[in-house]
């Protein structure tokens, strides 16, 4: 057996063996973002990003890690584990050591500093960033603590992070929120850097338009000059071969240049089976951070947080009775998005008398929003697909900038259906329609509401679509 003394080399080797034993998921979640550092007295500490990761490592991997370590370490040192808050280091030790050589650890600061986030009408820009989605408004809980720690590190442009960072998890538990928060914070910390946020829908629609306009070179350039590229809802490129090819070449070019890439999807990269294997493997080459469904405690905290934000805006005054909040959480099935909808309903109904609302009253006020059981969830993607099929057009046209009535009306109908059949907000729907502004969505929805009363054909189309979508 080889004997070494350099913790860096021992860590690389021991971590590689542990990876094979515990599997890719736990490894990339808990071990890969940790790092070994030597204390002044020679004691070696494995530093995890969060207390949760520390407890996981203590319970599941520390013993084995020490066995592997002792087999390699010429100085027979033992490893202890602590979380970053305990060792009090602002940037994690993972910047100092790279755990396994096949995971790219960026040591270089981004080089290009290209202009502001918006750079010309044809350029891809920070489409759809929402101001309220910052780290300050994100509530930490057990299921998201690790993702939040990594997000903060990424936003701080910390050296040595993995690339790409991939946030995955089910619908409505904060992936977009984290990507927005990273983009805001990264831009705040480095105003000269080019931080580009876009949804995969936007990537697709801009790419398709660039092909039609024969301006793909400008499209490529606008992305490749980014210092940090954040791409939301990557699953959307599934089944779209040329867009995937373009995405793959964008990612490889950026990674080669040492630029930061942050992605999100509703599943882990390897489970995105509609995505071509080479792209999938690039997506999973960095660090995968699960954003897990919120537990009850987190949901209560999010509801409280939301009410406080509404109080600051003057929508409500006072605090809700804790039992009312608990009831709200317990009786609102679904994700944090649905919960936010229920909180908004309560706030709008209770207004200035929030603190005196009783349990019975809350139940009455919330009525339909507190449902007895989860309905089948209709997604924006399904609405877009069904609407485009119904009008014999392509889904990508709904996302495009084409404004002829033949395209604009079905697009407005699809937006209207999203507002009716999902719990998504106007900005969120805009984001899903090629990164449009929320006022465009609002206008579209109002237009269809008006036409429903006067235009028989539209009323029939909408009715048929709702029937198809409800199944
Ligand atoms: N931990 C949290 N703290 C505060 N707000 C949260 C948290 N998790 C989710 N939310 C809120 O819930 C809503 C849905 O979250 P978000 O849009 O980020 O979900 P998502 O995982 O990106 O979903 P999708 O994949 O459908 O886009 C947002 O309004 C977001 O602000």
Same domain membership, residue 282 and residue 160: yes
CATH number of the domain encompassing residue 23: 3.30.300.180
CATH number of the domain encompassing residue 216: 3.40.50.300
Same domain membership, residue 192 and residue 262: yes
Same domain membership, residue 319 and residue 278: no
**Residue 148 Cβ contacting ligand 1 at under 6 Å:** no
Same domain membership, residue 169 and residue 60: no
Within 8 A by CB and 6+ apart from 278, the residues are 248
How far separated are the first and last CA of the chain, in Å rounded? 63
125 assigned to some structural domain: no
For residue 174, say whether it is annotated as part of any ligand binding site.
Answer: yes
139 assigned to some structural domain: no
Q: Count the Cβ atoms, other than its own, within 10 Å of residue 115.
A: 13
Could you tell me the distance, in angstroms and rounded to a whole number, from the CA of residue 335 to the centre of ligand 1? 8
197 assigned to some structural domain: yes
For residue 175, say whether it is annotated as part of any ligand binding site.
Answer: yes
Point out the domain boundary residue: 263, 290, 317: 290
Total number of domains in the chain: 4
The domain in which residue 195 lies consists of: 145-290
**Residue 336 Cβ contacting ligand 1 at under 6 Å:** yes
Taking CA atoms only, the protein residue closest to ligand 1 atom 10 is 174
Same domain membership, residue 303 and residue 282: no
What pLDDT shows up at residue 113? 23
Same domain membership, residue 153 and residue 75: no
For residue 172, say whether it is annotated as part of any ligand binding site.
Answer: yes
Same domain membership, residue 285 and residue 361: no
pLDDT digits (tens, 9 = 90+) for 303-329: 999 999 888 888 888 889 999 999 899
Could you tell me the distance, in angstroms and rounded to a whole number, from the CA of residue 369 to the centre of ligand 1? 18
SS3 53: helix
Q: Count the Cβ atoms, other than its own, within 10 Å of residue 102.
A: 8
Mean pLDDT of 341-367: 84
Highest mean pLDDT among 29-38, 122-131, 404-413: 404-413
Same domain membership, residue 245 and residue 323: no
**8-state DSSP, 305:** H
Same domain membership, residue 153 and residue 63: no
Same domain membership, residue 205 and residue 222: yes
| Strand pairing class (165-168; 287-290) | parallel
Ligand 1 atom closest to Cα of 133? Answer: 31
Q: What average pLDDT is seen over the chain?
A: 82
Q: Is the pLDDT of residue 398 over 70?
A: yes
SS3 260: strand
- Exposed/middle/buried for 433, CB within 10 Å: 0-12, 13-18, 19+? buried
pLDDT digits (tens, 9 = 90+) for 408-417: 999 999 999 9
Same domain membership, residue 304 and residue 276: no
Same domain membership, residue 282 and residue 176: yes
22 assigned to some structural domain: yes
Mean pLDDT of 36-65: 80
- Residue among 199, 208, 201, 273 nearest 229 (CA): 199
Task: For a ligand 1 pocket test, name from 272, 337, 341 the mutation site with the most ligand atoms within 8 angstroms of its C-beta.
Answer: 337
Ligand 1 atom closest to Cα of 233? Answer: 25
Alpha helix (H) residue ranges in 351-394: 359-366, 380-390
Can you tell me the distance from the alpha carbon of 185 to that of 108, in angstroms, rounded to the nearest whole number?
A: 19
Look at phi and psi of residue 434 and say left if phi exceeds 0, alpha if psi is from -120 to 50, else beta: left
Ligand 1 atom closest to Cα of 291? Answer: 21
Task: For a ligand 1 pocket test, name from 132, 172, 294, 435 the mutation site with the most ligand atoms within 8 angstroms of its C-beta.
Answer: 172
116 assigned to some structural domain: no
61 assigned to some structural domain: yes
Task: For a ligand 1 pocket test, name from 128, 140, 176, 296 the mutation site with the most ligand atoms within 8 angstroms of its C-beta.
Answer: 176
pTM for this entry:
0.65
What pLDDT shows up at residue 332? 86
What pLDDT shows up at residue 76? 65
- Residue among 4, 164, 183 nearest 77 (CA): 4
The ipTM value here is 0.98
């Amino acid at each position: 057996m080889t004997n070494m003394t350099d913790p860096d080399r021992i860590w690389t080797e021991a971590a590689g063996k542990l990876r094979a034993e515990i599997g890719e998921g736990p490894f990339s979640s808990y071990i890969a973002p940790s790092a070994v550092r030597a204390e002044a007295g020679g004691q070696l500490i494995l530093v995890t990003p969060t207390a949760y990761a520390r407890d996981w490592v203590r319970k599941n991997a520390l013993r084995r890690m020490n066995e592997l370590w002792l087999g390699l370490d010429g100085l027979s040192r033992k490893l202890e584990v602590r979380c970053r808050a305990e060792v009090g280091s602002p940037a994690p030790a993972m910047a100092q050591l790279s755990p396994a050589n096949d995971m790219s650890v960026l040591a270089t600061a981004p080089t290009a500093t290209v202009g502001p986030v918006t750079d010309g009408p044809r350029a891809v820009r920070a489409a759809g960033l929402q101001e309220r989605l910052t780290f300050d408004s994100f509530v930490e809980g057990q299921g998201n603590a690790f993702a939040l720690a990594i997000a903060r590190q990424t936003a701080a442009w910390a050296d040595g992070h993995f690339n790409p960072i991939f946030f995955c998890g089910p619908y409505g538990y904060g992936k977009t929120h984290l990507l927005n928060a990273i983009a805001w914070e990264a831009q705040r910390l480095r105003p000269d850097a080019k931080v580009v946020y876009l949804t995969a829908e936007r990537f697709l629609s801009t790419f398709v338009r660039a092909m039609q306009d024969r301006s793909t070179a400008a499209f490529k350039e606008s992305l490749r000059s980014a210092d940090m590229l954040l791409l939301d809802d990557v699953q959307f490129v599934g089944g779209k071969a040329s867009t995937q090819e373009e995405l793959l070449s964008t990612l490889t070019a950026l990674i080669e240049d040492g630029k930061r890439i942050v992605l999100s999807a509703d599943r882990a990269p390897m489970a995105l089976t509609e995505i071509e294997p080479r792209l999938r493997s690039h997506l999973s080459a960095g660090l995968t951070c699960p954003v897990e469904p919120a537990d009850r405690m987190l949901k209560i905290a999010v509801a409280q947080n939301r009410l406080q934000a509404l109080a600051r805006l003057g929508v409500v005054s006072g605090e809700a009775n804790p039992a009312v909040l608990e009831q709200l959480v317990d009786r609102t099935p679904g994700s944090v998005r649905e919960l936010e909808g229920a909180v908004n309903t309560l706030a709008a109904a209770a207004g200035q008398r929030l603190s005196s609302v009783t349990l019975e009253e809350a139940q009455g006020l919330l009525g339909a929003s507190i449902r007895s059981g989860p309905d089948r969830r209709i997604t924006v993607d399904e609405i877009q697909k069904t609407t485009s099929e119904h009008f014999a057009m392509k889904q990508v046209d709904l996302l495009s900038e084409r404004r002829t009535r033949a395209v604009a009306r079905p697009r407005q109908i699809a937006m209207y259906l999203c507002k009716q059949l999902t719990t998504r907000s106007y900005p969120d729907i805009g984001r899903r329609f090629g990164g449009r502004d929320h006022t465009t969505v609002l206008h579209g929805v109002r237009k269809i509401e008006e036409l429903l009363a006067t235009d028989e054909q539209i009323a029939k189309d909408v009715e048929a679509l709702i029937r198809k979508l409800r199944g």
